[in-house]
């Protein structure tokens, strides 16, 4: 933050102020207004697309006090990126301080705020039978409520939001205009008289209470309810009811991927999950994310909620509608995104009717539109602080601020867990989680967001950055823009994302471990040690490559990775892979003749192989499922490392031979898993030492593995390295777009 040096002001000095950052939609103007009034100052303040600007006039000491307190006492949800003030000529005879109408201008670099969870004041109102907002599901104020999910244009004013069609009643208008009120300039302000309403599709009930009782019964009866949430529809059912959860899985075509669960309150959550003070602070923050917590045994949650997983994605109600519905229960409900397998979430009432009637028994809708879909965010608390797994509601589109000015780059991300990013001057806005671009629907969602985000910020790209993989739909999109294009190698982008976060110019040793990404040599990478400096990288070392029979198919069939691994070192296929004799012969022939069996150095696939060799799973429902089983088997511990071959190529062959020998002599899976993790961590340390560099950055999907992320970082620190981790973005491909921006920014 820049601040001009202090100077002495004459009696009745006047200054102009410009405050940039996240200062709109957070009650900043009312705050400035109240402060000015308190200090007997005159002048004005307004929102512009630059940020908050104004002129302040008064006695010298009071003006100084204003300058101090406008920063020190700013609203908690505001983020001040810059504060400039300059002396200007006083205006004689001015007697008032006023808030002026917003002035739409051309530069839209001002930050848009994420959606904020219901604040305690609003919660008290909806639970108070004598309040006019009792049981009103759209209650909000300047401290809480929807933002990113309802905004259509900047500046953030009601006509530019999905509230434009609701005219405030005199009471709401009064609150909106009263600088002393909590709802002063609260753009989505509404009440039962004038605001949006809930309703059940195909039913006549309109009274909030009747609708909510009906919906609560649906869930109590073990049925499935679709609910229009903040950033899209969600699917709810009783999380204790095994039959209901199983039925939801069947209808949603989601076999095994864990479901998130919403608890009516913290006390209920504590019956089911272990949670510490820091985790409670995250759950009850304005973000109210899905937080991964350890389940308590025997608490009575249906097994199908998160099968075979010691953790649970837990959250608390974050909108009045969630509070009101969940308030009717003393048990948790599954709360998962309202979509068919792999498709984007339904956001409009028509889409819900079209896509969700086959999944939900009833649909709880309302008539406030959702401007864009925003999924629930998923995070967890680790020994290294908060780790983001999915960055969406509550976080997006909070910008990342750079130390230097970047050109206008549009980065389109990769393919899985995709996000896009746009950089404007010193800030980069990273989109909400988009998802995998595998289905036509997800691809449409990508197109919608890649059109939406630049439009919202009035952003014109000068450069487009994409993945090196030419077949990714995102890369194809980038090529068609006819702009200077920077293709960024996938693992380089993973590390560059961490470098951007920490403003590192390097050289730094990047350890990028994940499932898949196209390498500069045309093979599939994923076990990389890259020396990165500014926008360049060199491949310093990598895992010994092995063949992957079936290519992409292998991501869902760990047994294929294991076959490829064993083939590469000429070992027999002695494990319960479940292939028919004829299938096996074909795979062997393909491996020998190098047909549809690309080379990979992927650590993700190495995890799969070891899991398959240990019988933890041969075919999976989602990528990483068996790799997770291997992590869980280690119970957070590492064992003494197995031998491996050191060199520019890290040879896993001695380790695999030792693992097979351990398995055959009946060592426990727990101990093998712990030793496998221990080996990988020692490999990191050994290669880091060999690099001669002092700084190490870790990223890539494999660092969602808590043992690698926590103990890997710990061991590297103990070995004397300065370790940099993804802190504001996920280590998975959700962070790729920022890395692409960073790399492209060095080339222009």
Comparing CB distances to Fe ion, the nearer of 415 and 567 is 415
The answer to whether residue 247 forms part of the interface with Fe ion (CB under 5 A) is no
Q: What is the 3-state secondary structure (H, E, C) of 12-43?
A: CEEEEEEEEEECCCCCHHHHHHHHHHHCCCEE
Identify which range of 121-129, 181-189, 260-268, 513-521 contacts Fe ion by CB under 5 A. 513-521
Tokens of 531: 């020396």
Q: Between 558-568 and 581-593, two packed helices, what is the crossing angle to 10 degrees?
A: 50
Judge residue 151's burial from the number of C-beta atoms within 10 Å of its C-beta, 0-12 exposed, 13-18 middle, 19 or more buried: buried
Q: Which residues pair with 144 in a beta bridge?
A: 141
Nearer to Zn ion, 77 or 302 (CB): 77
514 binds Fe ion (CB under 5 A): yes
**Part in contact with Fe ion (CB under 5 A); list of ranges 241-249, 324-332, 512-520, 619-627:** 512-520
Nearer to Zn ion, 169 or 657 (CB): 169
> Kind of pairing, strands 311-315 and 290-295?
antiparallel
Structure token digits, residue 741: 């921006």
Nearest approach in angstroms of CB 514 to Fe ion is 4
481 binds, among Fe ion, Zn ion, none (CB under 5 to 8 A by kind): none
Q: Which stretch binds Fe ion (CB under 5 A): 126-134, 382-390, 510-518, 602-610?
A: 510-518
Q: Which stretch binds Fe ion (CB under 5 A): 128-136, 431-439, 477-485, 726-734?
A: 726-734
Q: Residue 555 Cβ, how far from Fe ion at the closest point, in Å? A: 12
Residue 595 binds which one of Zn ion, Fe ion, none, with CB within 5 to 8 A depending on kind? Answer: none
**Shortest distance, position 126 Cβ to Zn ion, whole Å:** 10
The distance of closest approach from Cβ of residue 415 to Fe ion in the complex, given in angstroms and rounded to an integer, is 9
Nearest Cα to Cα of residue 331 among 263, 260, 243:
263
Q: Which does 46 bind (CB under 5 to 8 A by kind): Fe ion, Zn ion, none?
A: none
Lay out the site mask for Fe ion across 106-125 (x = CB under 5 A, - = otherwise). Answer: --------------------
Residues that bind Zn ion (CB under 5 A): 119, 122, 141, 143-144, 169, 172, 191, 193-194
DSSP type of residue 395: T
Closest CB to Zn ion among 169 and 619?
Answer: 169
Rounded to a whole number of angstroms, the minimum distance from the CB of residue 494 to Fe ion is 6
Residue 170 or residue 298: which is nearer to Zn ion going by CB? Answer: 170
CA–CA distance, 225 with 487 (Å, rounded to integer): 44
Instruction: Rule CB under 5 A: say whether 162 interacts with Fe ion.
Output: no
CB of 493 to Fe ion, least distance (A): 8
Q: Which one among 62, 467, 608, 733 touches Fe ion, defined by CB under 5 A?
A: 733
CA distance 517 to 501: 21
Query: Choosing among Fe ion, Zn ion, none, which partner's interface includes residue 119 (Cβ < 5 to 8 Å by kind)?
Result: Zn ion
Alpha-helix runs per DSSP H in 459-570 = 473-479, 490-502, 558-568
* CB of 514 or CB of 557, closer to Fe ion: 514
Burial class from Cβ neighbours inside 10 Å (0-12, 13-18, 19+) for residue 309 reads: middle
Rounded CA separation 696/690 (Å): 12
The H or E element spanning position 695 is strand 695-699
The residue (of 73 and 521) whose beta carbon lies closer to Fe ion is 521
3-state secondary structure of 551: helix
Decide: helix, strand or coil at residue 701.
Answer: helix
* Binding window for Fe ion (CB under 5 A); candidates: 203-211, 252-260, 451-459, 727-735: 727-735
Shortest reach from residue 513's CB to Fe ion, in Å: 9
Count of residues for the chain?
748
d(C-alpha 473, C-alpha 479), whole Å: 10
Query: Which of Fe ion, Zn ion, none has residue 191 at its interface (CB below 5 to 8 Å by kind)?
Result: Zn ion
- Work out whether strand 378-382 and strand 385-390 pair parallel, antiparallel, or are unpaired: antiparallel
Structure tokens at 251: 């209808």
Task: Indicate the SS3 state at residue 545.
Answer: coil
DSSP, res 300: -
Positive or negative: CA dihedral 337, 343, 346, 351:
negative
Select from 206-214, 267-275, 390-398, 508-516 the region that touches Fe ion (CB under 5 A): 508-516
- 193 touches, from Zn ion, Fe ion, none (C-beta below 5 to 8 Å by class): Zn ion
141 binds, among Fe ion, Zn ion, none (CB under 5 to 8 A by kind): Zn ion
Of 99-107, 314-322, 547-555, 732-740: span binding Fe ion (CB under 5 A): 732-740
Is residue 467 near Fe ion by the rule CB under 5 A? no
> Which SS3 state, helix, strand or coil, does residue 576 take?
coil
Taking the complex as a whole, the smallest distance from the CB of residue 320 to Fe ion amounts, in Å, to 38
Binding residues for Fe ion (CB under 5 A): 514, 733
């Amino acid at each position: 933050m820049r601040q001009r040096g202090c100077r002495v002001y004459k009696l009745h000095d006047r200054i102009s102020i410009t405050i940039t950052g996240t200062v709109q939609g957070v009650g900043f103007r009312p705050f400035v207004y109240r402060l000015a009034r308190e200090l007997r100052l005159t002048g004005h303040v307004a929102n512009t697309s630059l940020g908050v600007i104004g002129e302040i006039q008064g006695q010298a000491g009071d003006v100084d006090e204003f300058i101090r307190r406008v920063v020190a006492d700013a609203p908690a949800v505001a983020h001040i990126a810059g504060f400039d003030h300059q002396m200007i000529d006083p205006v004689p005879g001015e007697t008032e301080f006023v808030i002026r109408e917003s002035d739409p201008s051309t530069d839209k670099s001002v930050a848009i705020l994420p959606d904020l969870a219901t604040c305690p004041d609003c919660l008290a109102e909806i639970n108070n039978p004598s309040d006019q907002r009792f049981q009103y599901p759209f209650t909000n104020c300047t401290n809480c409520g929807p933002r990113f999910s309802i905004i259509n244009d900047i500046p953030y004013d009601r006509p530019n939001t999905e509230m434009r069609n609701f005219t405030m009643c005199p009471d709401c208008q009064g609150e909106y205009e009263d600088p002393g009120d909590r709802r002063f300039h609260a753009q989505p302000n509404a009440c039962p008289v004038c605001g949006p309403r809930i309703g059940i599709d195909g039913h006549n009930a309109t009274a909030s209470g009747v609708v909510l009782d009906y919906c609560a019964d649906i869930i109590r009866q073990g049925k499935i309810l679709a609910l229009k949430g903040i950033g899209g529809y969600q699917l709810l059912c009783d999380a204790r009811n095994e039959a209901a959860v199983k039925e939801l899985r069947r209808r949603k075509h989601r076999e095994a991927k864990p479901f998130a669960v919403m608890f009516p309150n913290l006390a209920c959550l504590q019956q089911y999950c272990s949670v510490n003070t820091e985790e409670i602070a995250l759950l009850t923050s304005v973000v109210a994310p899905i937080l991964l917590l350890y389940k308590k045994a025997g608490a009575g949650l249906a097994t199908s909620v998160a099968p075979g997983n010691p953790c649970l994605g837990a959250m608390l109600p974050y909108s009045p509608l969630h509070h009101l519905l969940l308030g009717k229960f003393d048990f948790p409900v599954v709360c998962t995104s309202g979509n068919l397998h792999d498709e984007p979430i339904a956001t409009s009432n028509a889409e819900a009717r079209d896509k969700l009637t086959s999944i939900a028994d009833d649909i709880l809708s309302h008539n406030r539109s959702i401007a864009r879909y925003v999924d629930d965010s998923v995070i967890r608390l680790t020994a290294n602080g908060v780790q983001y797994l999915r960055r969406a509601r509550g976080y997006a589109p909070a910008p990342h601020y750079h130390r230097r000015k970047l050109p206008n780059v549009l980065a389109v991300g990769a393919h899985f867990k995709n996000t896009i990013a746009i950089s404007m001057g010193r800030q980069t806005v990273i989109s909400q989680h988009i998802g995998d671009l595998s289905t036509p629907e997800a691809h449409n969602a990508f197109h919608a967001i890649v059109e939406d985000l630049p439009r919202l910020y009035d952003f014109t790209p000068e450069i487009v950055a994409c993945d090196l993989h030419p077949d990714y739909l995102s890369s194809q999109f980038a090529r068609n823009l006819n702009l200077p294009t920077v293709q960024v190698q996938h693992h380089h982008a993973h590390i560059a994302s961490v470098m951007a976060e920490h403003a590192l110019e390097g050289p730094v040793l990047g350890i990028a471990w994940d499932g898949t990404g196209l390498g500069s040599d045309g093979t599939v990478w994923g076990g990389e040690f890259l020396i990165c400096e500014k926008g360049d990288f060199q491949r310093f070392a990598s895992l010994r490559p092995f063949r992957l029979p079936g290519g992409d198919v292998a991501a869902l069939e760990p047994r294929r990775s294991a076959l490829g691994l064993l083939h590469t070192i000429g070992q027999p296929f002695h494990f319960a892979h479940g292939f028919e004799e004829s299938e096996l012969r074909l795979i062997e022939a393909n491996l020998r003749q190098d047909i549809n069996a690309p080379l990979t150095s992927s650590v993700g696939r190495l995890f799969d192989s070891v899991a398959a060799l240990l019988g933890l799973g041969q075919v999976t429902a989602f990528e990483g499922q068996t790799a997770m089983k291997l992590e869980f088997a280690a119970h957070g511990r590492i064992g003494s490392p197995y031998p491996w071959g050191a060199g520019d190529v890290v040879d896993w062959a001695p380790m695999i031979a030792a693992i097979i020998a351990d398995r055959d002599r009946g060592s426990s899976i727990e101990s093998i898993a712990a030793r496998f993790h221990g080996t990988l961590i020692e490999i990191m340390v050994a290669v880091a030492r060999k690099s001669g560099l002092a700084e190490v950055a870790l990223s890539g999907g494999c660092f969602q593995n808590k043992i690698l992320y926590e103990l890997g970082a710990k061991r590297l620190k103990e070995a004397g390295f300065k370790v940099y981790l993804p802190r504001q973005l996920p280590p998975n491909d959700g962070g790729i777009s920022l890395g692409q921006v960073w790399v492209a920014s060095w080339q222009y």
